[in-house]
Amino acid sequence: MPKGKTPGFIDWRNCRTKEIILEDLLSGLIPAEPDLANSAWRHYYSKLEEVKKEKVIKKQFVKRFTDHCAQVTTKKEKSQKDFKAFLKYRDKNKQVFHKENGKPLFYLHPAYELLKQDIMEGKHEIMTAGVLRSTRTAYQDFDNKEFAQRVYQEVRRRKFIAFVNEKRRLKALAASQRRAVATPEDVHFAGFHLDDNVYIDINADVNMDSDSEVSSVDDYYAEKKYEGAKDERNDDQGQGEDGMEVE
């Protein structure tokens, strides 16, 4: 491992220990409290194979752990501020159900939920988009070209969410393995509470009505990112709701 400028310190910018600390703090596995630095080192991080391999010393760990606590706290405060700004914006700007050209917004149309159900059942694999469109009355509000784009987009969305879920599973597994190096008596200082089974439901939607509540900032950003509720005006530029080029 490359050495840092201070004697005994390693190159922190590119080390795995830094990544582990940030993952633990951001996920909530370890509370972002600087006062826990010494206890976290003694009971947990000093026992990790990655930390041992990189020969991280306690002095550098405590210093960087304190810095990362401040970094994560600032990031979470900014997220809370952004979330409140979003709620304020949503209250002032009521939801519209049609685009400027008068066409309905697909993700607010009943056809959206029906299409998700049909894709989940695999109907798109045994029939063309045109034939699938003819199977439901709600689909008739959209022409063949636009409906086909929505089919392709929903397939991409499901693939992407499956990919994200797999990454979350692997990260949770790695965190679980790291926790296993410490005994239950050792980890009481941190109050581990990471849920190893947190997934994005491919078939779930966030209710964006003005009188509804979003359970958390993380849920808001996850739903905002994966549902791609972008006003659908990207269609005029040849893009879908997720910002990807329409096939």
Q: What gap in Å lies between CA 157 and CA 227, rounded to an integer?
A: 8
CA distance 117 to 110: 11
Among positive and negative, which fits the CA dihedral 199, 204, 207, 212? Answer: negative
pLDDT for 201 = 42
What is the distance of C-alpha 20 from the center of its chain?
18
Contact 28, 193 (CB under 8 A): yes
Q: CB within 8 A of 241, min separation 6: which ones?
A: 106, 107, 153, 227, 228, 229, 230, 232, 234
Domain ranges in the chain are 12-91, 96-237
Beta-carbon-side half-sphere exposure of residue 32 (alpha carbons within 13 Å): 17
- Note the pLDDT tens digit of each residue in 90-138: 888 887 787 777 788 888 889 999 999 999 999 989 999 999 999 999 9
Q: What is the pLDDT of residue 180?
A: 64
What integer pLDDT is reported at residue 81 of this predicted model? 93
Residue listed under structure tokens 């997934």: 199
pLDDT for the residue numbered 49: 87
Interacting residues of 158 by C-beta distance below 8 A, sequence separation 6+: 119, 120, 202
Residue 79 in contact with residue 214, Cβ under 8 Å?
no
Write down the pLDDT at residue 106. Answer: 87
Q: Is the pTM of this model over 0.75?
A: no
Task: Mark residue 108 as left, alpha or beta (left: phi above 0; alpha: psi -120 to 50; beta: remaining).
Answer: alpha
Dist. CA 43–CA 57, nearest whole Å: 14
Q: How far is CA 238 from CA 46, 148, 193, in A?
A: 53, 13, 44
The predicted structure's pLDDT at residue 62: 93
Measured between alpha carbons, how far is residue 120 from residues 76, 78, 178, 199 in Å? 35, 36, 35, 17
* Res 116: pLDDT: 92
SS3 3: strand
pLDDT at residue 228, as a whole number = 44
DSSP-assigned letter for residue 244: P
Length of the chain equals 247
Where the chain has pLDDT below 50, the residues are 183-185, 187-247
Choose among 45, 81, 90, 85: nearest CA to 65.
45
